[in-house]
Amino acid sequence: MSGAKSQPFTEEQVALCREWIALHARDRVTPNRKAFPYHLKHEVERWRGSVYIPESAFLEAAMRAGFQLKFGCYRMMLKPRSAGAHEYYPTRWVPWEAGQ
């Protein structure tokens, strides 16, 4: 966490992160250099709107979901928003279809 002191978090914040992770993240073999907890916590904030998520809440949620940090990033496969599609969607990553 960038050497910063860990911030307290609530179970509600962790639950929002877990929901975002369930929709957007899939496991992959190698670390994804775009899957940094600090950036992804901002994705949760944009996705939910008007909510603050401490980085520690995202770290906890990812750990509970079985994702491990390696070299400062997660082994998460994320689906980017395609040009022209999902323009209403406020974040860089879009949900996976059911079963993918």
**Domain spans of the chain, in order of start:** 11-94
- In angstroms, rounded to a whole number, what is the distance separating the alpha carbons of residues 89 and 25? 16
Position 73 scores a pLDDT of 85
**H helix runs in 1-100, sequence order:** 11-24, 37-48, 55-64
pLDDT tens track, the chain, 100 positions: 444 456 899 999 999 999 999 988 888 888 888 888 998 999 999 889 889 999 999 999 999 999 988 878 888 888 766 555 545 555 666 666 644 4
